[in-house]
Amino acid sequence: MTALKGTGGNPAASGGAGMRLRGLIRKEFLQVLRDPSSIAIAFLMPILLLLLFGYGISLDAEHVPVALVAEQPNADTDSFAGAFRQSRYFAPVVMPGMREAVAALNSRRVDAIIHIKQDFSRRMRSTDGGVIQVIVNGIDANNARLVQGYVEGVWAKWLQAEALANGEPLDIPVQVEERVWFNSELKSRNFIVPGLIAIIMTLIGALLTAMVMAREWERGTMEALIVTPVTIREVVVGKLIPYYILGMGGMVLSVVMSAGLFGVPLKGSLWVLFLASSLFLLAALGMGLLISVVAKNQFVAGQAAIIATFLPAFILSGFLFDISSMPAPVQVITHAVAARYFIAILQTLFLAGNIWPIILPNAAALLLMAGLFLGLARRKSGKRL
Amino acid sequence: MSRPDPRTATETGDIALALGRVTKKFVSGARRVDALQKVSMTAREGRVTGLIGPDGAGKTTLMRLVAGLLVPDEGTISVLGIDAVRDPLDVQSSIGYMPQRYGLYEDLSVQENLDLYADLKGVHLSDRPGRYRELMAMTGLGPFTSRFAGRLSGGMKQKLGLACTLVSPPRLLILDEPTVGVDPVSRRELWAIVYRLVRDEGMSVLLSTAYLDEAERCDDVVVLHEGRILGSGAPKTFSGPMKGRTYRVRVPSVKNRTLQERLSGQPGVVDAVVQGEAVRLVMSNAETQAVEKLVEEMEGALIEAAAPRFEDGFIALLREMRPPAARSAADTGRAVAAAAGKDGETIIKVKDLQRRFGDFYAVKGVTFGVKRGEVFGLLGANGAGKSTTFRMLCGLLPPSGGTLSVAGVDLRRAAASARARIGYMSQKFSLYGNLSVRQNLDFFSSAYGLSGSLRREMIEWAFWQFDLGPVADSTSADLPLGFKQRLAMACALMHAPDIIFLDEPTSGVDPLARREFWQRIDSLAEKGVTVLVTTHFMEEAEYCDRMAIMAAGEILAIGSPAEIKSRARTTELPEPTLEDAFIALITGTTEGVAA
């Protein structure tokens, strides 16, 4: 209520509000420019994360090393092995016997063993059909399932090719004709890189803001700041604007890098991306402010920001792990993670386009969260110690 | 919305500040702290009002209430006729408040800090150049406008903090411990500025301090103790009743420290402290015979009347509230076995010691020696290099250059057995805050390898000697500062060390606790324990056998307090205090640098 004073017929005071805000914002930018850790979080971290995730991490299994063991090598087994060699998913190594293959599997030099028994040629021409044994290292369950699927794919293709070559009709009642929409190359990078933008903006929005606000409490500058005629709204806005700009800078950097370096398509429009990012950033800033108001200590604020914003954004947002395959209670929790909505929007915008039925409800959720966190942060922070 | 209240406006008149029965409690977990209890006070316009009291007395809470940063649980606060509870923003636009750490942005330059506060306080752009010029001339910061605030010395930071507070001239200036830990030259300069503001600009000033000698510089004094007002009025109202009750006693054949020990606790003695070459005595009444009776058996005793000080009155007030403990702190040394070695042997040797942090020398070229059984003081402002020197001596920090030996070894490379000969009490309370007093004593005694009956004995001794029995099962972090300090000292003494390092042991505690502490130190020294102590209280340095004055990482002077004072003796100043000597030394060495 006291903040309204300036509008109550005192023009000098309202001019003062502009001056105070300008002073606060200028101070914040000077501090960011001089603090190597802010610069690192705002610009170095996005580059590092993008390079790491863009180049280093792939959810696709490619060139999986497999051991091929043919107990009785002949034309049939050679042809079968050839099918593996041609596939981009496998890097087969022919091994003389199961003993060597098992040793290789145990030492994780290969992820799977394709074991072709000695009666393979005979049985594949008999009515009961041929048998290949596939042993997959199940330690990495995800990878194991992928390898399993790929082996089946290679085997089906090889059968078809064999049948064609021999002029035999292959009796397949249903044919699968695959079409992949939205990420036609099925590159996991195209799916990860947009999600990374949410992670980066969480870092700048929540972690950086929580730390800088807590720093003011810790160093005693907040006390000096709030005894000046500044209003608490000005203090909050004076923090929001600089870090909003910094966060959007991080986002632009990420978009440019993902399009330029990784060739991720951007199907949707830029202004939708801009608006959605703004909404998410406001929610992240709100969380950061709220944490710092409660913690008032850089160490606690940093820890809290990582646990409450960064980790959930990483794990519970659908960035790497599919939400629909999580257990039901965990799925419920993901609704409280702002990054979840933003990642849904980002993946849609980048890979599919302006699909309103997805964008609008997620944007509404972001708006709600931004309002909630900013409102709470505003209420929790007062001009009192 | 500000609604001028006609009642307060007419009633206040020349009252700048009025508190009526203000109560403020803080609750953290199960602990409840009564920071202020029914405090009523006034401060008059155009005067310097001093808030005096030890840490935890409620000074900062009171100032924050006045500045509208806290809301009282009960009571009224009127600042310049404005209700501080209802209209904090109105109060804030007419006061200047400098918090304890000055509220400076260390990564902004002097000019940028000024600009920020000018923006926040709505100083018109056209008024700024003139105001900046005035402030820079007043504080002497003119040549440093582009330097980062973090790179300024303590005294310069304090002045920049003040300049930022004054960027728009306030009607009431509130300064929270502006002089604590700052070198005496900067302290004097700050007082000169404060007087000028009051005289030339008609400003009212409310200022808190832990230095009792500063009380005498205020027009009015409010003494706070444990959240209550102990007394208020002009400084004279405290020292006045002491008239005829203060003496300086000298007995040539007896060491001052021994004399002080003998006199304190005697019937009729309120206070006895070593001051210069004599013992200053405060008696409970103005009968001269009582003093003569005290020293009648001492040969050649000289008694002379002394002018009463504010501190005498303060001590007398505190004594009324808290009679001296049944057992004397003076036999702290009892349980400590006489330390090994010959008297007069130099037990700590430091030669050309250096410590560099980046391109900054925290300690440079420090050379001194300490003899066994000596109380050696390092005196200096915050940032003078006292603690850094200490940490190197204790082997906690490797020196960048020079040599040092403590009891014949460099503790950094020495075996644990050598370390067991020293005790260290660090500046901040470094015991386990979430353990009880008993658990802390248990832990430290076992950490020092005590076991069985010896361990039990020492823990018993600590409880008894340091009066910790009543708080044995309290959580250490919740103890009042005086208890914490006693516990810390007890833990540092558990293993009966030969050498003890005390880093600012008395910072923030009340004068009675300080006296008690020094008695313990003296008692240890009597047993042959070597004591190294740092302090920023000038008068405490008087209690040391020898001392070194440090500034900016270097030793300016070394010797007994009398020797050091004699260096500053001039015709205008026939009896300089240690502070005078300190100032003479600093201005002598820094003139070339500052110019």
Contact B263, B269 (CB under 8 A): yes
DSSP string, B495-547: T--SEEEESSTTTTS-HHHHHHHHHHHHHHHHTT-EEEEEES-HHHHTTSSEE
- B238-332: same fold as B6-236? no
Using DSSP's 3-state secondary structure scheme, residue B481 falls into: helix
B107 touches chain A (CB under 8 A): yes
Contact B389, B377 (CB under 8 A): no
CA separation for the pair B246, B251 (Å, rounded): 17
H or E segment and range at residue A67: strand A64-70
pLDDT at B175 over 90: yes
Q: Across the interface, which of B69, B87, B103 has its CB nearest the CB of A221? A: B103
Give the pLDDT of residue B7: 37
Amino acid identity, position B459: I
Q: What is the pLDDT of residues B502-519, one digit of tens each?
A: 988 888 788 888 888 888
What's the CATH superfamily of A64-165? abc type-2 transporter like domain (3.40.1710.10)
pLDDT tens string, chain A, 385 residues long: the values are 333 333 333 334 445 889 999 999 999 999 999 988 888 888 888 899 888 887 877 666 778 888 988 888 888 888 888 888 888 888 888 888 888 889 988 888 888 898 888 887 777 777 666 678 888 888 877 778 888 888 888 888 887 787 777 777 666 666 667 676 766 666 777 888 888 888 888 888 888 888 888 889 888 899 999 899 998 889 989 999 999 999 898 889 889 988 888 888 888 999 999 999 999 999 999 999 999 888 888 899 999 999 999 899 989 988 888 888 899 999 999 999 999 999 999 989 998 889 999 999 999 999 999 999 999 988 888 777 7
Average pLDDT over residues B87-115: 92
Chain A residues with CB-CB distance to B under 8 A? 1-5, 8, 12-13, 15-16, 19-20, 22-24, 26-27, 30-31, 34-35, 219-221, 223-231, 383-385
CA separation for the pair A122, A28 (Å, rounded): 79
pLDDT band at B59, cuts 50/70/90?
very high
CA separation for the pair A77, B394 (Å, rounded): 77
Chain A: residue whose CA lies nearest to B104: A221
Residue to test with chain A: of B120, B123, B146, B148, most A Cβ within 10 A: B120
Give the pLDDT of residue B363: 93
pLDDT at B364 over 70: yes
Average pLDDT over residues B156-178: 93
Give the pLDDT of residue A189: 78
Torsion, CA A213, CA A215, CA A217, CA A220, rounded to 10? -140
- Residues of A with Cβ-Cβ distance to B2 under 8 angstroms: 5
Give the pLDDT of residue A183: 67
Average pLDDT over residues B96-123: 93
Cα B147-A18-A216 angle, rounded to 5 deg: 50
CA separation for the pair A230, A16 (Å, rounded): 9
pTM over 0.90: no
- Every domain of chain A with CATH number 3.40.1710.10 lies at 64-165
Name the token pair of A230: 């500044």
Contact B220, B47 (CB under 8 A): yes
Chain B: residue whose CA lies nearest to A30: B108
Give the pLDDT of residue B387: 87
CA separation for the pair B491, B478 (Å, rounded): 17
Considering the segment(s) B6-236 as one domain, its CATH architecture is: 3-Layer(aba) Sandwich (3.40)
| Yes or no, beta carbons of A225 and B97 under 8 Å apart | no
Tokens 């060597």 correspond to A100
What topology is assigned to B338-421+499-594 in CATH?
Answer: Rossmann fold (3.40.50)
Contact A263, A322 (CB under 8 A): no
pLDDT at B8 over 60: no
The ipTM of this complex is: 0.79
Ranking B70-74, B436-440, B541-545 by mean pLDDT, the lowest is B541-545
- Name the residue ranges covered by the structural domains of chain B: 6-236, 238-332, 338-421+499-594, 431-496
CA separation for the pair B587, B585 (Å, rounded): 6
Chain A: residue whose CA lies nearest to B66: A227
Tokens 């160093």 correspond to A219
Domain at B238-332, CATH from 3.10.620, 3.30.70, 1.10.150, 3.30.1120: 3.30.70
| Yes or no, beta carbons of A27 and B71 under 8 Å apart | no
Average pLDDT, chain B: 85
Give the pLDDT of residue A8: 33
